[in-house]
């Protein structure tokens, strides 16, 4: 996933995120992690997650940027997530968007990162009530959002909407079931037309929004 521009939103499909290319090569990862730590971090406690031995979970002092890193002299990032906040998606509501999500595919870190993306997502929902999809997603990002939509629809207390920014009033449409999402809304939201698909958002909320 890539950083949102000021006036754009949502899942225009992209082949690979720049951040993935930067962190997937170990040497580049170590350099990138060092630069991140040098800006200042604090240890972070994530409800529902026990930090495995040999790792640290840290948060930037400067913004909502979280990373699970190896606890060694030259640490690597094995998971990263960063948020931005918006007030223009749902009237009178603050929403958060994960503009950066990355996890390693290296086998030695599988256990450490297992389940972490979902735990973070649930934490953001508990903390901010409304999570909105970002404007550009890889195929992995799409699969993760589909998983969380399925989870929200099958879990009491959560609601799923489509926000159509191609219309001036940005209407919110409530989704009643997974079949409705998949048959009606999935291809409506995700695709390769930047002028269209970058303005359609998926919204998961603890609150009923209309």
Mark 15-37 as b/e (b = at least 16 C-beta within 10 Å): eebebeeebeeeeebbebbeebb
Instruction: Name every residue whose Cβ is closer than 8 Å to that of residue 188 and which is 6 or more positions away in sequence.
Output: 162, 200
Q: Quote the pLDDT of residue 198.
A: 62
Q: Please indicate, yes or no, if residue 64 is contained in any of the structural domains.
A: yes
Q: Please indicate, yes or no, if residue 7 is contained in any of the structural domains.
A: no
Total residues belonging to the chain: 210
Q: Quote the pLDDT of residue 200.
A: 79
Averaged pLDDT, 181-208: 81
How far is 50 from 42, CA to CA, in rounded Å?
16
- By DSSP bridging, strand 95-103 and strand 130-132 are parallel
Q: Quote the pLDDT of residue 95.
A: 92
Q: Please indicate, yes or no, if residue 4 is contained in any of the structural domains.
A: no
Residue 35 above 50 pLDDT?
A: yes
Q: Please indicate, yes or no, if residue 6 is contained in any of the structural domains.
A: no
Query: Is residue 130 within 8 Å of 95, Cβ to Cβ?
Result: yes
More confident residue, 36 or 167: 36
Averaged pLDDT, 117-134: 94
- Which of the four pLDDT bands, split at 50, 70 and 90, describes residue 137? low
Q: Please indicate, yes or no, if residue 169 is contained in any of the structural domains.
A: yes
Q: Which H or E element spans position 26?
A: helix 26-38
Q: Please indicate, yes or no, if residue 99 is contained in any of the structural domains.
A: yes
Residue 64 above 70 pLDDT?
A: yes
Mark 135-150 as b/e (b = at least 16 C-beta within 10 Å): bbbbebbbebbbebbe
Query: Is residue 132 within 8 Å of 86, Cβ to Cβ?
Result: yes
Q: Quote the pLDDT of residue 197.
A: 55
Mean pLDDT of all residues belonging to the chain = 86
Q: Please indicate, yes or no, if residue 5 is contained in any of the structural domains.
A: no
Q: Which H or E element spans position 111?
A: helix 110-113
Instruction: Name every residue whose Cβ is closer than 8 Å to that of residue 110 and which is 6 or more positions away in sequence.
Output: none
Domain limits for position 173: 12-205
- Report how many domains make up the chain: 1
Query: Is residue 95 within 8 Å of 203, Cβ to Cβ?
Result: yes
Q: pLDDT exceeding 90 applies to what percent of the chain?
A: 58
Nearest to 203 by CA among 122, 95, 101, 120: 95
């Amino acid at each position: 996933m890539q950083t949102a521009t000021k006036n754009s939103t949502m899942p225009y499909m992209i082949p690979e995120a720049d951040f993935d290319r930067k962190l997937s090569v170990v040497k580049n990862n170590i350099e990138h992690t060092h630069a991140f730590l040098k800006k200042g971090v604090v240890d972070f406690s994530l409800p529902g997650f026990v930090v495995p031995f040999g790792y640290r979970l840290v948060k930037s002092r400067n913004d909502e940027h979280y990373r699970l890193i190896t606890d060694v002299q030259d640490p690597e990032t094995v998971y990263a997530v960063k948020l931005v906040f918006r007030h223009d998606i749902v009237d009178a509501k603050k929403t958060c968007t994960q503009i950066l999500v990355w996890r390693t595919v290296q086998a030695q870190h599988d256990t450490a990162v297992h389940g972490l993306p979902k735990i973070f997502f649930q934490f953001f929902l508990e903390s901010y009530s409304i999570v909105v999809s970002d404007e550009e997603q890889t195929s992995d990002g799409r699969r993760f959002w589909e998983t969380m939509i399925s989870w929200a629809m099958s879990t009491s207390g959560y609601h799923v909407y489509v926000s159509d920014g191609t219309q001036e009033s940005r209407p919110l449409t409530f989704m009643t079931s997974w079949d409705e999402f998949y048959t009606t809304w999935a291809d409506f939201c995700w695709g390769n037309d930047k002028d269209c698909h970058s303005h359609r958002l998926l919204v998961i909320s603890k609150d009923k929004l209309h």
